Amino acid sequence: MSLSAPRTARLLLAGVLACVATGCGRAPEPEPTASRPHIVLVIADDLGWGDLPKYGGPATTPTLDALAREGRRLEQFHTFPLCTPSRAALLTGRVPLADGLAWSPLRPWSDLGLPSDAETLPELLQAAGYHTALLGKWHLGHTRADQHPQRHGFDHFYGFLTGAIDYFTHQSRDGGLDWQRNGKTVDEPGYVTRLLTEEAERLIAAHDFSQPLFLMLSYSAPHRPMQAPTETLEQMDAWQDPAEKLYAAMLAEFDQGLARVQSAIAAAGVAEDTLWLVISDNGAALQLGGSNDPLKGGKSAVTQGGLRVPAWVHWPSRIEGGAPIEEFTTVMNLAPTLAGFAQTQFATPQDGHDLHRAWLGEASYPTPQAAVFVAHNDQRGQMAIIDWPWKLLRRIDRDGGEAREQLFRLDEDPTESKNLIREQELQAQTMREELARWLAQDPQGVSLERLPDWQGDAPEMWKAPAAWAEALR
């Protein structure tokens, strides 16, 4: 595999940083896991703030409930409102404007993807001696080999490349089998959530835990298509509405899968040495049975229902459970923070702070960095900048007209009910100027007045490949 000069230099620097952290002169032996934990990063797809009992929702999720009790909730955790930008930010620690990945999910016909020279969390952890595995959804590029997970730091990949697949047939939403193991199509029966759990169990059982493990378990539930095993649906007697019953069944499968992975970690004897981080990638899709109550809006919107999502961190031996973490936290914080736990660091600048010492109670929380979130469709675009506790929200219609703006103070108004734009004109202007500086990073010529072109419709001659794993250009 060939590497670009910047990527090669960055990998060498990552190796030097890992060497400094662990000692040089010979192949470093793994640090005690009390210092460097095994890391399990679990992603729920489209899980909303109001979906779970802890947040007032009706779902039955005993595993997540226990995690909330025993770990710590990230009470002000914010992501992008869509899959691709959240996942790009998660792996790189950067707002993905400069990479052209911030505004919408990657469509099956798109040639875009995570840049080949992007510095990623799994790449850093790999250089620091971790075994790295991704199970589940990628959604960061599928048309070139250099966009695929194993070219971005994952030793092992089992799952799918595009944004959504049938839970039983594993066909991508627009056709073509999208199910693979390490670049080779796998045609096998099974419900996706259960297959990912079983792969995690196999991987954990086979792993030599003298080497630290980074497992990113990227479930597709409860993302559409809305499908669940019949036997699970039959257990959802408490729900009368068919959409809510189906949604609850998908969440139950997710929760049961998480319990099985926890049991596998415990059986391996490393429960006390394992850091768990469980997040949603964006708010719930309201039309599919999800809830973001009492927050406004949902998936695809830069209102709080699209951005503020459930998240928990748990490390039994090091992070004392109980009180929630109230500080403003974004998905951009996670890559530098997990790198910090692994005693390594990024060579490139990040848009999020390393919070690992704050989570351990060894340091105070740094002043939050401002964060920008965007989304668009064929009719309008939305932009938001949060400079805690202030949030400026801006909407633009494609057919012209005056931009509409709102300003909220989120610590006092989490449901965005009181627009302070007239009372706080200076604050709004300061944030508007900062938003403009962020938007200037986008290679598509975006500004406060100009949206990126809409590319949500398939080209006339486009056709899905028969199998996505081998469909490379």
- Cβ-based neighbours of 9, under 8 Å, separated by 6 or more: none
Distance between the two ends of the chain, CA-based, in angstroms?
Answer: 16
Question: Does 25 have pLDDT greater than 60?
Answer: no
Question: Does 203 have pLDDT greater than 80?
Answer: yes
List 38, 83, 131, 314, catalytic entry: 83
Residue 58, preceding peptide bond in cis (omega within 30° of 0):
no
Range with lowest mean pLDDT among 58-72, 133-147, 436-450: 58-72
What are the counts of helices (DSSP H) followed by strands (DSSP E) for the chain?
11, 14
CA-to-CA distance for 280 and 308, rounded, in angstroms? 9
The residue to which tokens 């992975």 are assigned: 261
Copy the structure tokens of residue 403: 């931009």
Structure confidence at residue 5 (pLDDT): 44
Angle between helix 83-92 and 334-341 (nearest 10): 40
Cα separation values, 462 from 17, 104, 153, 377, Å: 45, 19, 30, 20
- CATH architecture of the domain 377-439 equals 2-Layer Sandwich (3.30)
Copy the structure tokens of residue 128: 């620091």
Residues of the chain with pLDDT > 70, as a percent, come to 92
Structure confidence at residue 68 (pLDDT): 85
Copy the structure tokens of residue 384: 């938001």
Q: Position 416: which residue type?
A: E
Structure confidence at residue 1 (pLDDT): 37
Structure confidence at residue 8 (pLDDT): 47
Copy the structure tokens of residue 134: 């991704």
Q: Is 139 noted as a catalytic residue in this protein?
A: yes
| 79 or 461: which leads in pLDDT | 79
The residue to which tokens 């986008």 are assigned: 442
Mean pLDDT of 342-371: 96
Range with lowest mean pLDDT among 16-30, 88-102, 255-269, 303-317: 16-30
- What are the residues facing 407 on neighbouring strands? 392
* 398-412 pLDDT per residue, tens: 988 789 999 999 999
Q: What mean pLDDT is reported for the chain?
A: 92
Range with lowest mean pLDDT among 44-53, 178-187, 262-271: 44-53
Work out the number of other CB atoms within 10 angstroms of the CB of residue 299: 26
* 388-399 pLDDT per residue, tens: 999 999 999 998
Question: Does 152 have pLDDT greater than 90?
Answer: yes
CB 328 within 8 Å of CB 78: yes
Exposure b/e, 130-155, CB count within 10 A at least 16 = b: bbbbbbbbbbbbbbeebbbbbbbbbb
Mean pLDDT of 325-346: 98
Mean pLDDT of 58-84: 92
Structure confidence at residue 425 (pLDDT): 97
CA-to-CA distance for 318 and 172, rounded, in angstroms? 41
Structure confidence at residue 24 (pLDDT): 45
Structure confidence at residue 55 (pLDDT): 61
Question: Does 53 have pLDDT greater than 90?
Answer: no
* 210-252 pLDDT per residue, tens: 999 999 999 999 999 999 999 999 999 888 889 989 999 999 9
CB 117 within 8 Å of CB 10: yes
List 38, 78, 131, 139, catalytic entry: 139
Q: Is 439 helix (H, G, I), strand (E, B) or coil?
A: helix
Structure confidence at residue 472 (pLDDT): 82
* Sheet with 274-280: strands ordered across: 184-185, 180-181, 156-160, 131-137, 213-218, 38-44, 274-280, 311-314, 72-78, 325-330
- Cβ-based neighbours of 406, under 8 Å, separated by 6 or more: 392, 393, 416, 419, 421
Range with lowest mean pLDDT among 57-71, 83-97, 109-123, 320-334: 57-71
Question: Does 13 have pLDDT greater than 60?
Answer: no
Mean pLDDT of 451-462: 89
Q: Which of 325, 387, 275 is nearest to 38 (CA)?
A: 275
Question: Does 10 have pLDDT greater than 60?
Answer: no
Question: Does 254 have pLDDT greater than 90?
Answer: yes
* 282-333 pLDDT per residue, tens: 999 999 989 999 999 999 999 999 999 999 999 999 998 888 999 999 999 9
For residue 65, count CB atoms less than 10 angstroms from its CB and return exposed for 0-12, middle for 13-18, buried for 19 or more.
middle
- What are the residues facing 328 on neighbouring strands? 76
Range with lowest mean pLDDT among 33-47, 54-68, 303-317: 54-68
Q: Which of 283, 274, 415 is nearest to 341 (CA)?
A: 274
CB 104 within 8 Å of CB 96: no
Question: Does 473 have pLDDT greater than 90?
Answer: no
Structure confidence at residue 399 (pLDDT): 85
Domain ranges of the chain: 34-359, 377-439
Write out the H or E segment, with its range, that includes residue 172. Answer: none
Tell the CATH superfamily of the 34-359 domain.
Alkaline Phosphatase, subunit A (3.40.720.10)
pLDDT tier at 447 (50, 70, 90 boundaries)?
very high
Widest Cα–Cα separation across the chain: 65
Question: Does 128 have pLDDT greater than 70?
Answer: yes
Question: Does 453 have pLDDT greater than 60?
Answer: yes
| 8 or 117: which leads in pLDDT | 117
Q: Which of 196, 35, 211 is nearest to 126 (CA)?
A: 211
Q: What is the DSSP string of 373-413?
A: EEEE-SSEEEEEEEETTEEEEEEEETT----EEEEEETTT-
* 158-187 pLDDT per residue, tens: 999 999 999 999 999 989 999 999 999 999
Structure confidence at residue 56 (pLDDT): 63
